[in-house]
A and B are shown apart, each in its own frame.
Chain A
């Protein structure tokens, strides 16, 4: 069974750094792209970008380019989303998700990681 399990909720202050994780299981992690999706409180879904664990090929949405960094450690089947300096506007639920091909829609989703940034 394919599963994506994300790290737990985080509460941070503006200016702090943060890395959240997404661990894949039940499939060959290195073979499938992993994407990240933001959902701000009460709002819709935003495609942040996608990374290929096999070679770390990465595509960022222009809206998120330079604001976040994707990475992977395929030895432990884990993808990461990181911020170097959080802002209050980064407060959101963040989902990792896996398409069944590339390009492709996301047919497997993590449970989400809630990030709250507040002073």
Chain B
């Protein structure tokens, strides 16, 4: 069964600190992996998208890594800001014609002053 699992489920950090979120998946065949940020009451916004051949991709203070061999990804947030408080969702796309996305349950991040 194709699944995407994220950890931790929730995380509280102090403003200015770094943090790393984890994502493990069993989706096959694999097309790409995306990290989204979802603010409360809003739709998901794409942070990064990586294909099989990409190991790392950055978007400002967000850096995503992908190990396609172990089927693991991480999202590292540097110098966190209060506005980083949100849910971060790992999403994997199957390599088929359906273009369906398989969602992780998300990590709820709270950045405190």
Q: Do A and B come from one complex?
A: no
List residues of B whose CB falls within 8 A of some A CB.
Answer: none
Q: Which residues of A contact B (CB under 8 A)?
A: none
